[in-house]
Amino acid sequence: MPVTTPNTPAGKPPATRSRAAARPAAATRPQPAGAAAATPRLLLLDGHSLAYRAFYALPVENFSTTTGQPTNAVYGFTSMLINVLRDERPTHVAVAWDLPTPTFRHNQYAEYKAGRAETPADFVGQVSLIHQVCDALAVPGVSAPGFEADDVIATLATAGSAAGMDVLVVTGDRDALQLVGDRVTVLMTRKGISDMTRFTPDEVHAKYGLSPAQYPDFAALRGDPSDNLPSVPGVGEKTATKWIQQFGSLADLVDRADEIGGKTGASLRAHLSSVIRNRSLTELARDVPLPVTPDELRLRPWDRESVHQLFDTLQFRVLRERLYAALATAPPPVEEGFEVSLSTLGPDEVAGWLAEHARGGQRVGLHARGSWGRGTGVLSGLALAAADGAAAWVDPTRLTPADLDALGGWLADPAQPKAGHDVKGPMLALAELGLTLAGVTSDTALAAYLALPGQRSFDLGDLVARYLHRDLASEPASNGQLTLDGTGEEEESQADAVRALACRELADELDADLERRSAAGLLRDIELPLVTVLAGMERAGIAADQEHLADLQKSYGAEVSAVAAQAHEIVGRAFNLGSPKQLQQILFDELALPKTKKIKTGYTTDADALAWLAVQSDHPLLPVLLRHRDVARLKTVVDSLLPMIDDAGRIHTTFNQTIAATGRLSSTDPNLQNIPIRTAEGRQIRRAFVVGAGHESLLTADYSQIEMRIMAHLSGDEGLIEAFGSGEDLHTFVAAEAFGLPVSEVDPELRRRIKAMSYGLAYGLSAFGLASQLGIAPDEAREHMDAYFARFGGVRDFLRGVVDRARGDGYTETMLGRRRYLPDLTSDNAQRRQMAERMALNAPIQGSAADIIKIAMLGVDRALRAGGYHSRLLLQVHDELVLEIAPGEHEDVERLVRAEMTSAYTMSVPLEVSVGSGRTWDDAAH
């Protein structure tokens, strides 16, 4: 029934307004209630201190981009910055930075900070990226020649507190404790990047037994190895504290040093000069000449587009989501928002509303409420927003059969255009009700993905703010209540209706944007039709042999235990093979094996490091450890699959279209694109995926060397094109050509090297990277690359041309026009520029392969339906398709699949397809 509000005639739906208005693209941070009248809060961060803290808190091996740029320091710093902005709600903010030039302390003491370890290679370049994060978030940086960051902080903190501000200092440097006072609080990093101690005067006294003013005296006695400030031999922190408490200050202690007896007194007197020098160096300067005053550090709006571009480059998908959740946009200053006439439709009202508002060929926005995943879903509400401004909300559990027929007919009508956001999930939920969704002319998540392919999150609210300059959130009325009084269901229905309307209006903006970017055809002809295909694949799932998986689980579990026992016997005692700390002690301390890469916790013991050690040493423990890693990984895969089997004995994955910037599909929950294939044991897991009831076999079809074929086509290199027509093994032929050898003299090792290089070149692999991958010297790797390019010059010219064209255009694109925008190709920052160059090389080849397999999937699905076949697509694993074949259809379906895959795109090098079939996924390998 229509929603009525007080003073609204029954039967006439009221116009409800979500107070969302036009505003600039920049986002502003919300302030606490009453912030205008509250005491200003100045937040000061010690840039280098926090950057180093982040670098050592997060393992670099877990934080880097796909192009190899380390990002652990950037990620950790940005995370800290977001958290403190969210939690402390400052009105003013700045980051203080050290400069590379000497300071007044170096002039006083030439050995100041001497002996510090060389800056870690993985840290170099990350500080400039942190500066760019701060710029994107409109957080100013402040520095001063001749002074350190903590002097800058001391000056701003002193001036800010004198001006009536509450000051918060975030640092890992204990010297900042001397700044603590009634208006100055220090947040000291304690462990990692999230654990901080809040130092007030009481907390300083509780921790050290001293006042903040006494802390520099204490520090002068204690010394500081990191700054190369010597301590007094024999005098520890307890003694230093006792002396300052006893004498009140270092000055009085120095004046009365003769009163201290024993060895410690003698040591103090012998080192008074260094103590006095330490005291002058630990005192923070509070009068540094600065280009800004605290009042000029007021928070400014930050720019969404800059944040998107930078976070895309750094691949900070989760952190971006945290940023927008923590620092949500403030209510816009101008009220110009969504206005809808909302009706909640009851029994027998659906057909009439659709006839009045949702016919005539104008696009209708829709938004579904519910849950979905693993091939199924539950729909709890559906909102429709028509072009005339009317909106309807239906609860599918309250509809009559006639309503469902009317709604189902409208949803399934391909002639009725519709727009939604991330519609595959709602498709699954509608399918559970026997309803089909067709006629979707815009999925705003997919459209945004094509327009902004480097982005990793496509939240509807963010896109509405970015494109429509509006906010989905309803503002409270002046009395603090929601603008629409009523039940929670009414509030939900209003929110759903606003989202449906937002989808319809956003779709128009994105359509225009895609036209400008020449990407409208990709959405219309590939991505949108693929949604329906993927939804069908997810619903079908793939049958799994639960008993076989359970046997593998037991077998792998037993071998994990047996291999661990073997390792214990070699070492002579029990230890945890999964503990990096214990492995470090055994490998490097007890066995004195060659050192691997240095990380925060010591020397790395990851799989690559163990493989490298196994080459460097013949110690019997190493192959055992590698074996343990392999078997434990296999067991983990099996452990993750068993709980995913549903009551019908099938596993349903979720395919994602908007994750990979190159256009590749990904698979999650579980990831069925990551089932092992290279080893016999790994293929045992593939044997657990079987043909289901009512079908006779599985069929697999994959492209043969598709990326190298695309390379040959795009480069036009005659030698590489000839290689595909020679009838010889591709990599053997290429090796023979590159090194002037007969094909018969190319040994397996040379073939392996050429194969690695051929694929690596397409992804910007350097001589150093190739050397690391092959385990050879960089000079030898460079010789291989020179020989390769001498014979295949067209490949070299193509690779250079890709980067040059992308630098001029601002983007690179696939053969079908899928673009990847790379503004950092012209960046002044070398690290970001090199990252962008590698992305520019990667995108056209991998992206073209992704486009081609998508076209093939659409063709196979269309041909299966047109032919009335009962066989069906189940999986896509990058270049491979997996189908379930119905009885009697194998020959026709294989012919159909070959035809659709080989004709998906015409190139100078023909596409070749390998096909296999069998009862299990492994049997169907070819």
The reported pTM is 0.75
What was the pLDDT predicted at 688?
A: 97
> Could you give the count of Cα atoms lying within 13 Å of 653 in the half-sphere of its Cβ?
24
Among 547, 551, 559, residue whose Cα is nearest residue 633: 559
Q: How far apart are CA 228 and CA 224, in angstroms?
A: 6
Distance CA(638)–CA(499), nearest Å, equals 40
- 650 strand-pairing partners: 543
CA 608 → CA 61, 245, 460, 681, distances in Å? 11, 54, 40, 20
- Measured in degrees and rounded to the nearest 5, phi and psi for residue 492 equal -65, -45
How many Å apart are CA 569 and CA 592, to the nearest integer?
Answer: 18
Intra-chain end-to-end CA distance of the chain, in Å: 60
Residue type, 150: D
Q: What is the DSSP string of 774-812?
A: HTS-HHHHHHHHHHHHHH-HHHHHHHHHHHHHHHHHSEE
Calpha distance 63→295 (Å, rounded)? 37
Predicted pLDDT at 41: 95
Stretch 498-502: mean pLDDT: 95
pLDDT band at 24; cut points 50, 70, 90: very low
Q: Tokens in use for 300?
A: 């400014």
pLDDT of residue 753: 86
d(CA 663, CA 293): 48
The residue written with tokens 């929601």 in the block is 482
Percent of the chain with pLDDT over 70: 90
Between 554 and 281, residue with greater pLDDT: 554
516 half-sphere exposure, CB direction, 13 A CA radius: 8
In angstroms, rounded to a whole number, what is the distance separating the alpha carbons of residues 826 and 707? 27
Q: Is the pLDDT score of 34 beyond 70?
A: no
Whether 220 and 235 have beta carbons less than 8 Å apart is answered as no
Confidence of residue 6 (pLDDT cuts 50, 70, 90): very low
Q: What length does the chain have?
A: 926
Other beta carbons within 10 Å of 104: 16
Tokens 């809808």 belong to: 340
Q: Is residue 340 within 8 Å of 389, Cβ to Cβ?
A: yes
CA distance 766 to 837: 12
The residue type at 819: R
Alpha helices in 419-527 (DSSP H): 424-432, 444-451, 460-468, 488-516, 520-522
Taking only the tens place, the pLDDT of each residue in 666-701 is 999 999 998 988 888 889 999 999 999 999 999 999
CA separation for the pair 796, 790 (Å, rounded): 9
Helix 488-516 with 460-468: angle, nearest 10 deg? 60
- Over its C-alpha atoms, the chain yields an Rg (Å, rounded) of 33
Q: Which two tokens stand for residue 394?
A: 């239906």
Rounded to an integer, the average pLDDT of 212-218 is: 81
For residue 465 the two structure tokens come to 């703010």
Residue 860, SS3 per DSSP: helix
Residue 4 has pLDDT above 50, yes or no: no
Residue of higher predicted confidence among 819 and 27 = 819
Domains of the chain in sequence order? 27-209+285-305 (3.40.50.1010), 332-541 (3.30.420.10), 660-717+792-926 (3.30.70.370), 727-789 (no CATH)
Task: Yes or no: say if 550 and 642 are a contact pair by the CB < 8 Å rule.
Answer: yes
Residues 6+ apart with CB under 8 A from 318: none
pLDDT for 399 beyond 70: yes
What does the pLDDT look like over 253-274, one tens digit per residue?
777 777 777 777 777 776 677 7
Mean pLDDT comparison of 240-244, 322-326, 528-532, 633-637, highest-scoring range: 528-532
pLDDT above 70: residue 189? yes
Residue 585 DSSP class: I
User: In sequence order, what are the residues at sequence separation of 6 or more whose Cβ sits closer than 8 angstroms to the Cβ of residue 891?
Assistant: none
Query: 916: which 2 tokens?
Result: 């296999």
pLDDT(324) > 80? no
Compute CA distances 379 → 154, 353, 375, 386, whole Å.
58, 20, 14, 20
**CA nearest 482: which of 17, 10, 3, 13?**
17
Tokens of 436: 């089909």
Task: Kindly give the interhelix angle for 424-432 and 528-540, rounded to the nearest 10 degrees.
Answer: 50
Q: String of b and e for 87-96 (b: at least 16 CB within 10 Å)?
A: eebbbbbbbb
**What DSSP character marks residue 219?**
H
Q: Is the pLDDT of residue 303 over 80?
A: no
Across 878-892, average pLDDT: 97
Q: Which of 882, 900, 869 is nearest to 686 (CA)?
A: 882
Structure tokens at 693: 């009831």
Looking at residue 589, the DSSP 8-state letter turns out to be I
Answer whether the bond into residue 670 is a cis peptide, omega within 30°: yes
